[in-house]
Structure 1
Amino acid sequence: MVRPGGPHRERQNIMSRRITGFTPSGELHLGNYFGAIKPLVDQQVPDRSIVFVSDLHALTLEHDPAEVRRRTLEFATVLLAAGADPARSIFLVQSHVPEHTELHYLLESATGYGEVRRMIQFKEKSRDSDRVRVSLLTYPVLMAADILLYHAGEVPVGADQRQHVELARDIATRFNAAYGPVFTVPHMVNPPVAARIMDLSRPTAKMSKSTSSGGTLRLLDSPDTLRRTVMRAVTDPGSAIEYDPGNRPGIANLLTILAACTGEDPVDAATRFSGYAQLKHAVADAVIATTDPIRHHYAELSHDPESVRKILRDGVIRARLIASDTVSAAKQAIGLLPA
């Protein structure tokens, strides 16, 4: 049975509720920090900000079970170290809230095969694989459940995930039209420009947490490792230092990183340097100054993993107050007999 005032009570504040998820594959890096972590930290509002580690999404490809568990706790700890505040955000692990998978199935019952089959990420990730998991095909529907479960009005998303949020909007609209107004139709929020931090060894490719590369600035890397990575960064022919992403992507990427760390404008920052080495040293200093507090706080939290687990358990309790109402409303609307 839907609790009195349940979903209707939640809709009073839905437009300002924002959700951000992190799949525990690879390692979190500077692009993740400026593109997703810092914006959520800066915009946390009690009971309206939801931050979660999407461990179920890590199961769509071949994986090591022990590694998924390890990275799930690591990601949660890094997010806390970077400023995710359980007093101002609902902070949880996806699989700890069973309503995610329960709503996933209900939404599959309102989604066409063709809709998920044409998702670009599915085509790309399944193209060279002999064994494609069904979860890879239906992962966008689970992502829709993640969003719709909490009546999120805002979803910060990069270009690679826009199609999935559009699918969530389509599913919500269709379900509401067919069965009644259960879900909030979310809208996308563009990430900040700083999210476009590129790989230092391939400045035309976005920095990736899943791809092994010598050009990634990982949040938990030591200062020496970060400095070596920056000093080895690919630059451009000639010696001019100017912010020109189209023609000089290597230098533009270094200036973008410097600007993200210091708050400067990359065009103005370019005028301060007379050579590549001088610029790289400044970038390395700025990156280390940005990541040092995160790394130190992470080390402190890692010494007491039970405290992190308690934060996650508390987040589950808060999350399920919203999620259980949503699932109850969806089950009733779609025609299931209440227990």
Structure 2
Amino acid sequence: MRVVSGIQPTGGLHLGNLLGAILRWVRMQDEAECLFFLADMHALTIAVDPAELRANIREMAAALIASGIDPAKATLFRQSAVPAHAELAWILQGTARIGWLERMTQFKEKGGKHKERSSVGLFTYPVLQAADVLLYQATHVPVGEDQKQHLELARDIALKFNNDFDVELFALPEPFIGGGTAARVMSLRDGKAKMSKSDPSEMSRIHLTDSDEDIAQKIRKARTDPEPLPEDPALLDGRPEARNLVGIYAALTGESIEQVLARFAGQGFGTFKPALADAVIAMLSPLRRRLDELRADPAELERILESGAERARTLAAPTLANAYRAVGLA
């Protein structure tokens, strides 16, 4: 089993990123051979500040390692350090069909009402995503609800390429359900909106770099309702803020929603919020210290990323060579 997944190097990592994706990666590396990459080429599909992108790449690498990604277990690398990603993506552009890409719901959402102003890269980036996983003969790809369509596209491209050129080159990757459950973390100010760095309110999110005092304050001021916590999880329906805070606590402690409610049933948020703040601080304090250590040694970060890229280039080479041969370029 080989798992491949990428994450865009965006700044301002928060608790939602940690519980929603990063910690799932940490658990995956003990379940399968894993390749994790910083999707810096995908970051170019929208306007980008070069200096900011460079800084974000280092910050994301540091955050992943601080969170528990072990370069001795998983292959961690920068996407752009493996040119085969771009080369295979161009070859696959000849296989993918415009109609397939026009059906991608994420392009419709990101392009908005003025899709003609979007970059070509924003339209075709699902083909690069397909290349990202097909390049390594990935057997499994971890996907959330918003990425299932892109995995289906990767499978369609792989199948059509194999059929068009009468080869059995690309494996058809399956969704990976390992790594435990990813928590869907919502805003601390609005339980119906995802926690996001684009939210204008700093009080809506907890950054991985927030101090213990800031964390406690943000939890204390998080929006809730006046009702006590119920014993039955079904009674959280219609209480999005309460459900969000209970879900965060469960994700941090590894408990189920039922277990959390069994402990706090009948109690108000005056009791629950301090316990939640303690759990968040217990998770983030050691992570923050490790992050500071890694930031202080950028040369070590670069060494880790280059070592991962070297391994990734070695793994990618046979597939790319066979793709060149299949289409007549070699």
2:97 maps to 1:149: no
2:218 maps to 1:233: no
Of 207-216 and 303-312, deviating more is 207-216
SS state at 2:291 partner: helix
The number of equivalent residue pairs is 321
SS state at 1:50 partner: strand
2:324 maps to 1:331: yes
Describe the superposition over 1:229-267 as per-residue Cα deviations: whole angstroms up to 9, x where unpaired. 21121213x422133442211111111111111122222
* 8 Å CA contact 1:46, 1:89 repeated in 2: no
* 8 Å CA contact 1:20, 1:51 repeated in 2: yes
Q: 1:218 to 1:128 in 2, by over 3 A?
A: farther
**Which residue of 2 is the match for residue 48 of structure 1?**
33
- 1:270-289 to 2 correspondence within 5 Å? 270-273=261-264, 274-289=267-282
Letter of the 1:151 partner, please give it. Answer: Q
Letter of the 1:200 partner, please give it. Answer: L
2:22 maps to 1:33: no
CA distance in 2, matches of 1:211, 1:25: 14
Q: Shift of the alpha carbon at 1:29?
A: 2.1
CA distance in 2, matches of 1:46, 1:254: 29
**Which residue of 2 is the match for residue 183 of structure 1?**
170
Q: Shift of the alpha carbon at 1:276?
A: 1.0
Letter of the 1:231 partner, please give it. Answer: R
Letter of the 1:104 partner, please give it. Answer: A
Q: Shift of the alpha carbon at 1:46?
A: 9.8
**Which residue of 2 is the match for residue 267 of structure 1?**
258
Letter of the 1:272 partner, please give it. Answer: R
TM value normalised by structure 1 = 0.90
CA distance in 2, matches of 1:305, 1:323: 26
Structure 2 residue ranges without an equivalent (≥5): none
CA distance in 2, matches of 1:209, 1:103: 32
**From 104, 109, 116, the counterpart of 2:94:** 109
Letter of the 2:64 partner, please give it. Answer: L
2:55 maps to 1:70: yes
CA distance in 2, matches of 1:173, 1:65: 36
Q: 1:245 to 1:209 in 2, by over 3 A?
A: farther
Q: 1:44 to 1:67 in 2, by over 3 A?
A: same
SS state at 1:52 partner: strand
TM value normalised by structure 2 = 0.92
Q: CA RMSD in A?
A: 1.8
Of 265-274 and 158-167, deviating more is 265-274
**From 147, 151, 168, the counterpart of 1:161:** 147
CA distance in 2, matches of 1:183, 1:176: 7
CA distance in 1, matches of 2:107, 2:224: 33
2:293 maps to 1:300: yes
* 8 Å CA contact 1:227, 1:284 repeated in 2: yes
Letter of the 1:314 partner, please give it. Answer: S
**Which residue of 2 is the match for residue 252 of structure 1?**
243
The percent identity for this pair of structures is 44
CA distance in 2, matches of 1:163, 1:71: 27
Q: 1:98 to 1:162 in 2, by over 3 A?
A: same
- 1:3-14 to 2 correspondence within 5 Å? none
Describe the superposition over 1:290-330 as per-residue Cα deviations: whole angstroms up to 9, x where unpaired. 11111110101111110000111111110011111111111
CA distance in 2, matches of 1:212, 1:60: 23
CA distance in 2, matches of 1:308, 1:212: 31
SS state at 2:137 partner: coil
* 8 Å CA contact 1:182, 1:326 repeated in 2: yes
Of 270-279 and 92-101, deviating more is 270-279
Structure 1 residue ranges without an equivalent (≥5): 1-15
CA distance in 2, matches of 1:140, 1:280: 41
Q: 1:46 to 1:272 in 2, by over 3 A?
A: closer
CA distance in 2, matches of 1:58, 1:128: 21
**From 117, 121, 125, the counterpart of 1:139:** 125
